[in-house]
Amino acid sequence: MNIVYAAPKPYGQPQVYISEVAKDVAKEISYGSGDDLIALVENIGGRVTYQELRELEKSDSGSILVEPDGKFEITLPNHTSMQRDRFTIAHEIGHLVLHFMLNKGKADHEGLAAARYGSGLVEYEANWFAASFLMPDDQFKLCYESNAADLNAVAAKFAVSLTAAAVRAKALGLSGY
């Protein structure tokens, strides 16, 4: 039997629902803010690899390849920071959960191939998942307030980039963002 690797199709649920899915997944796999994501990926049947991108392809993007049995590989560029890699890993886990595991229409012989290029609904869904997975709204708001809106401290707490923390603060409607 030949394996077919399909591009992800939108999950089709609102952002608030995807946020709840991310929180449920984090709880199910015992993920806590700042935990080692590479070890987590290995614990759930995947692996993380790094790849040198040609100069013209350099970006902050990663990719995921999911086998029909659920085993998967996340590939990251080797020129990005650990904080950026954490968001990319969580984004790719979002594809795994939303666009493979919860995709009711997939065939038994179908895998999934997704790369972080573009800005369609599938990518937004994976970003929403990643933000909620890494920076759950209640924890993020509490940390933001207890650190007097110091985004450097908030980013450090969640082991994400300053940019990711700023986007999350804005998405949650926190003052100043």
- 82-104: pLDDT as tens digits: 999 999 999 999 999 999 999 76
In whole numbers, what is the pLDDT of the chain averaged over residues? 89
Which pLDDT score is estimated for 108?
65
In the predicted model, residues of the chain with pLDDT beneath 70 are 1, 53-60, 104-109, 116-119, 177
CA–CA–CA angle 55, 6, 78 (5° rounding): 25
Q: Answer whether 33's CB lies under 8 Å from 135's CB.
A: yes
140: left (phi over 0), alpha (psi -120 to 50) or beta: alpha
Which pLDDT score is estimated for 56?
41
Task: Give the contacts of 32 (CB within 8 A, at least 6 positions apart).
Answer: 26
The percentage of the chain sitting over the pLDDT mark of 70, rounded to a whole number, equals 89
